[in-house]
Amino acid sequence: MTPAARPAGRLRGSRAHRLYSVVVFIVLAALDNVAIALPPPLVSPISREFGVGEPAVAAAVATSLLLAAVAAVGWAYVGDRSNRKRLLMIGTLLWAAGMAATASAPSYLAFLAALALAGIGLGAVASVGFSVVSDLISPRRRGLVMGLWGLSQGVGTLAGVALAGVLGAGDWRRPFLVLTLVGVAATIAYLFTYDVRRGQSEPQLQALYAAGGEYEHRISRADLPRIADRRTNRWLVAQGFTAQLGFGSLVWLPRLFQAKAEQIGYAEDPAIVVGSVFTVLVLAGGVLSLPGGLVGDRLQRRTRRGRAMVAAVGVLAAVPLFVALFFFPLRLDLPTGETDQTAIVLGVLRSLVTEPVMAVTFLVALIAIGLMSAQSPNWYALIAEVNPPEHRGTAFSAGNLVNGLGRTAGTYLVVRTFEALQRALPPPLNYVVGLAAFQLFFIPTGVMYWLASRTAPQDIATVEALLRERSAPPPGAG
């Protein structure tokens, strides 16, 4: 080995290299959600430029979400059989190309096609990325890292809303172009990540890897019924549909706050900034997905029902707080004629201190989002723990597909609900009532998490026994 080669050899696979890899994967997950969150705050100027109604723009966003979920199934199955790093790079480049095409779309049909291309690429980042991260982290810390994974997605959503509101208020194409450049940079960063071995973090497989062996098992079509037969998988997948009906509706929070700002006298462009900034503040409680993962880790060590119970309690407790949140009035310490974006942002922030109703709204929002976010890291960790390594990407993608169907339905149907309600309720009341109604879908979600808590212990024990069985060193090893 040459002197130049030694540092590279010591770096490859080192703790620093693995940490770098985790950071890159988490950033990729964040960018995934930046891309998803960009269009909704800009629905008004996009619909006006292309000469279509807001529901048509909502349909394009919903189509992109649906394609991401459907494509994720194919990406995940191939990823569970082959080189995951290559697939992640291809997927990232695809969604970056979709963002570039969106920024230059000359018509509504081109806009629709560009978002569709982005959606196909985003499917790879979600499903294959989850499979890789689950193999990097041991079960003991899985909730914590999955909390970071979930937090990154929440931060990505906030960044997307902020990017849309601040850069897109005057020119809706600008944030899509910026995200394109970031996507290309993320692809370059991914070139230097650690090539994670399948199942390497599982305690039951340590003897196999210590003896110089590899976990050779790969998914086949015959395994698909086994994934479906796992009872916890059924509950974890099914809850995603009702949960995402609720989450899908929340992408229109900027539109709600925009309508509230317009009601009290602000013009459209300043109202878009107000809606985006206040949505970012409201969704900031998503950072509490990290403690939700930590609590799940700790409780799971005491009882294997722990993660699912944390998710069930968090989801059910958040519902009444969300409903209350939408009914709070908007009060801003800001002149209605203000047009400077910096002044508007500062005015919204100042209002949290000078306007008591805004302070209460912000506090309720933090608690509600924090409680709801506790389910995210525990869902990820449970999917990893009730499935062997070669099934995880596919099991995740099945959940992601159902999530996508629910999120697509929620994103689109809530807009139709707004339209129907507007016949009797003027804006912003139609948005308030519509969003409040969609939060009721979280109730069956909480019930299904409780049911998953009853089946998870046996499914986890079955996977651990299977891995111990497969951990015998290969003949002649050692």
Residues 360 and 333: their CA atoms lie apart, in Å, by 15
Q: Which pair of structure tokens corresponds to residue 152?
A: 């990154």
Structure confidence by residue, pLDDT tens digits, 228-270: 999 999 999 999 999 999 988 888 888 899 999 999 999 888 9
How high is the mean pLDDT of the chain?
Answer: 86
Whole-prediction pTM: 0.77
Cα torsion angle, 120, 28, 97, 194, sign: negative
Structure confidence by residue, pLDDT tens digits, 140-175: 777 777 777 777 777 787 788 788 877 887 789 999
CA-nearest of 29, 37, 41, 46 to 91 is 29
What per-residue confidence (pLDDT) applies to 235?
A: 97
Is the per-residue pLDDT at 6 higher than 70? no
What per-residue confidence (pLDDT) applies to 58?
A: 82
Q: Greater confidence, 264 or 285?
A: 264
Neighbours of 11 (CB within 10 A): 13
Structure confidence by residue, pLDDT tens digits, 182-211: 888 888 888 888 777 788 888 888 888 777
Tell me the one-letter amino acid at 28.
L
Tell me the one-letter amino acid at 213.
G
What per-residue confidence (pLDDT) applies to 64?
A: 87
What per-residue confidence (pLDDT) applies to 448?
A: 97
Confidence of residue 476 (pLDDT cuts 50, 70, 90): low
Please tell me which of 8-12, 37-41, 130-134, 356-360 the model is most confident about, judged by mean pLDDT. Answer: 356-360
Confidence of residue 2 (pLDDT cuts 50, 70, 90): very low
What per-residue confidence (pLDDT) applies to 135?
A: 81
What per-residue confidence (pLDDT) applies to 317?
A: 96
Is the per-residue pLDDT at 461 higher than 60? yes
Is the per-residue pLDDT at 327 higher than 70? yes
Structure confidence by residue, pLDDT tens digits, 344-362: 989 999 999 999 999 999 9
Helical spans, DSSP H, in 137-205: 142-168, 174-190
What per-residue confidence (pLDDT) applies to 478?
A: 47
Residues 246 and 240: their CA atoms lie apart, in Å, by 10
Confidence of residue 475 (pLDDT cuts 50, 70, 90): low
- Residues above pLDDT 70, as percent of the chain: 96
The domains found in the chain, sorted by start residue, are: 16-196+230-467 (1.20.1250.20)
- Contact predicate 178/163, CB 8 Å: yes
Is the per-residue pLDDT at 8 higher than 90? no
The residue-averaged pLDDT of 289-316 equals 91
Is the per-residue pLDDT at 299 higher than 90? yes
- Contact predicate 271/348, CB 8 Å: no
What per-residue confidence (pLDDT) applies to 388?
A: 92
Q: Which pair of structure tokens corresponds to residue 138?
A: 């041991």
